[in-house]
Amino acid sequence: MKKREFIRCSGLLAGALIANSMTGCKNEPANKSGRKIRKDSPIRLKYKPYTLQLRHVFTLASGSRTTTPVVLTQLECDGFTGYGEASMPPYLGESHESVLKFLSEVNMEQFSDPFLIEDITEYIDKIAPGNYAAKASIDIALHDLAGKIVGEPWYKLWGLNPSKTPYTSFTIAIDTPRVVKQKVAEAEPYKILKVKLGLGNDKEMIETIREVSDKPICVDVNQGWKDKKYALEMAHWLKEQNVSFLEQPMPKEQTDDIAWLTQNAPLPVIADEALQTTGDLFKVKDIYSGINIKLMKCGGMNAAYKMAFMAREMGMKVMIGCMTETSCAISAAAQVSPLVDWADLDGNLLISNDVYEGVTVEDGKITLRERPGIGIIELEKIFQD
Ligand SMILES: [Mg+2]
């Protein structure tokens, strides 16, 4: 299926699912209580910068940090409220300033039908190139709003089976053996460990974990290895250590080396930094075995859903990941998770000041709520009326 045809078909599919779930008649959607939204009620946007505090210093091959800037958004329409979020880890190039500037240019009040998701996405995309976290903060809030109006969770509107959610991995960042062991103990409820490598102590990290745990591990190098022969040698060694896959082992620019590694490695090689949006799938399909989709990279739930379907059609493995985020963006990503092979949705578990409650992890498995939209509730009042 060609890219354009696929996007059109999946848009129609989502539209049809929404239409089927509307309990009102003709053009007027109604929620389960039967209340119809007024056609002339504009969609209003509110937003607020916020700083996430991390439970531990978070060290990757690209650097260390203790906070992550986010912007929390809210879309209101005729008494319904949808929540969204932009999360901006430094390596993606967005910031409080850039997201606030982008959102100040958004005129949502020209729209009064939150179900025009494709039209609204097109408008948002055209405001400025890039700015995917800022775009995701509108997209997530819009999905939450539309889901609340029809009174159904998004996984249901997409026709996905909530029992097919994967286990989520829990991230162990690069640290001293003492702290790594402490983090493995904290990860007790999780079935899979995601281990960050790429700072020169690769074997020490894995051996430290293997002293205290025999759980399956997946490895994320965050572009940290430069030499393909070392990468292949490590892939063989990691396979013996019960590692399931290797994420972004080398710099995304080293495409020939990565393609060679993918052909020769005994583990699937997954693209993360190498792709952002749906169009990038065509760039990575012959280089990697699979992709890591993140809402903050691709612009939100609409793009993530389409990317997951397209990648599967192309025979690629699919993973859904996250940044450090509140339960808002994590619960939004979790709606797509029944479509994927692996999930790494632990960003809300790594912070100490979450402001929402949503998707949970039960016995290591992502557990979707029966709540409408993205299924979250506010733990504290963020926006004053
Ligand atoms: Mg990664």
List pLDDT tens digits, range 208-236: 999 999 999 999 999 999 999 999 999 99
Q: Name the domain boundary from 153, 172, 204.
A: 153
C-alpha–C-alpha distance, residues 323 and 302, integer Å: 18
Tell me how far the alpha carbon of residue 156 lies from the centroid of ligand 1, in angstroms: 28
Element (H, E) at 319: strand 317-320
Tell me how far the alpha carbon of residue 375 lies from the centroid of ligand 1, in angstroms: 26
Q: Angle between the 96-104 and 132-150 helix axes, to the nearest 10 degrees? A: 60
Instruction: Transcribe 336-371 into DSSP letters.
Output: TGGG-SEE---GGGGBS---EE--EEETTEEE--S-
Q: Looking up tokens 């991995």, which residue turns up?
A: 169
In a domain, 55, yes or no: yes
Q: Name the residues around ion ligand 1, CB cutoff 5 A.
A: 220, 247, 272
Tell me how far the alpha carbon of residue 41 lies from the centroid of ligand 1, in angstroms: 41
Tokens at residue 209, please?
A: 């974990």
Tell me how far the alpha carbon of residue 103 lies from the centroid of ligand 1, in angstroms: 27
Based on the domain organization, do 207 and 236 belong to the same domain?
Answer: yes
Mean pLDDT (the chain, rounded) = 90
Q: Name the domain boundary from 97, 118, 153.
A: 153
Based on the domain organization, do 192 and 167 belong to the same domain?
Answer: yes
In a domain, 225, yes or no: yes
Tell me how far the alpha carbon of residue 61 lies from the centroid of ligand 1, in angstroms: 11
Based on the domain organization, do 187 and 317 belong to the same domain?
Answer: yes
Q: Number of structural domains, the chain?
A: 2
Tell me how far the alpha carbon of residue 227 lies from the centroid of ligand 1, in angstroms: 19
CA angle 380, 343, 131 (to 5 degrees): 65
Tell me how far the alpha carbon of residue 325 lies from the centroid of ligand 1, in angstroms: 15
Secondary structure (3-state) at 229? helix
Tell me how far the alpha carbon of residue 220 lies from the centroid of ligand 1, in angstroms: 6
Based on the domain organization, do 192 and 265 belong to the same domain?
Answer: yes
Q: Name the domain boundary from 134, 153, 172.
A: 153
Burial of 214 (0-12, 13-18, 19+ CB in 10 A): exposed
Based on the domain organization, do 141 and 174 belong to the same domain?
Answer: no
From the list 305, 312, 307, 355, the residue with the least C-alpha distance to 335 is 305
Tell me how far the alpha carbon of residue 261 lies from the centroid of ligand 1, in angstroms: 17
In a domain, 258, yes or no: yes
Tell me how far the alpha carbon of residue 235 lies from the centroid of ligand 1, in angstroms: 16
In a domain, 384, yes or no: no
Tell me how far the alpha carbon of residue 367 lies from the centroid of ligand 1, in angstroms: 22
Tell me how far the alpha carbon of residue 223 lies from the centroid of ligand 1, in angstroms: 9
Tell me how far the alpha carbon of residue 294 lies from the centroid of ligand 1, in angstroms: 9
Tell me how far the alpha carbon of residue 213 lies from the centroid of ligand 1, in angstroms: 22
Which amino acid, residue 62?
Answer: S
Please, which contacts does 255-262 make with residues 24 or more away whose CB atoms are closer than 8 Å? 255/287, 257/228, 257/231, 258/228, 258/287, 258/288, 259/286, 259/287, 260/228, 261/228, 261/231, 261/232, 261/235, 262/287, 262/288, 262/289
Based on the domain organization, do 110 and 132 belong to the same domain?
Answer: yes
Tell me how far the alpha carbon of residue 249 lies from the centroid of ligand 1, in angstroms: 9
Tell me how far the alpha carbon of residue 273 lies from the centroid of ligand 1, in angstroms: 7
In a domain, 130, yes or no: yes
Strands 377-378, 356-357: parallel, antiparallel or unpaired by DSSP? antiparallel
pLDDT at 355: 97
Based on the domain organization, do 21 and 78 belong to the same domain?
Answer: yes
In a domain, 383, yes or no: no
Based on the domain organization, do 263 and 324 belong to the same domain?
Answer: yes
Tell me how far the alpha carbon of residue 344 lies from the centroid of ligand 1, in angstroms: 9
Tokens at residue 141, please?
A: 């809030």
In a domain, 385, yes or no: no
Based on the domain organization, do 129 and 75 belong to the same domain?
Answer: yes
Tell me how far the alpha carbon of residue 153 lies from the centroid of ligand 1, in angstroms: 28
Tell me how far the alpha carbon of residue 79 lies from the centroid of ligand 1, in angstroms: 38
Which amino acid, residue 320?
Answer: I
Based on the domain organization, do 268 and 179 belong to the same domain?
Answer: yes
Tell me how far the alpha carbon of residue 271 lies from the centroid of ligand 1, in angstroms: 8
Tell me how far the alpha carbon of residue 219 lies from the centroid of ligand 1, in angstroms: 9
Question: Mind listing the pLDDT tens digit of every residue in the chain (385 residues)?
Answer: 444 444 444 444 444 444 444 433 333 444 554 567 777 799 999 999 999 999 887 776 667 889 999 999 999 999 999 999 999 988 789 999 999 999 999 999 999 999 999 999 999 999 999 999 999 999 999 999 999 999 999 999 999 999 999 999 998 988 899 999 999 998 998 999 999 999 889 999 999 999 999 999 999 999 999 999 999 999 999 999 999 999 999 999 999 999 999 999 999 999 999 999 999 999 999 999 999 999 999 999 999 999 999 999 999 999 999 999 999 999 999 999 999 999 999 899 889 999 999 999 999 999 999 999 999 999 988 887 6
In a domain, 299, yes or no: yes
Tell me how far the alpha carbon of residue 60 lies from the centroid of ligand 1, in angstroms: 10
CATH number at residue 107: 3.30.390.10
Tell me how far the alpha carbon of residue 155 lies from the centroid of ligand 1, in angstroms: 24
CATH number at residue 228: 3.20.20.120
Tell me how far the alpha carbon of residue 371 lies from the centroid of ligand 1, in angstroms: 29
- 0.85 cut: is pTM over it? yes
Based on the domain organization, do 147 and 161 belong to the same domain?
Answer: no
Based on the domain organization, do 166 and 311 belong to the same domain?
Answer: yes
For 114, the domain range is 3-153
Tokens at residue 36, please?
A: 């119809």
- 352, 96 Cβ separation under 8 angstroms: no
Q: Where are the beta strands (DSSP E) in 30-148?
A: 44-60, 63-77, 80-87
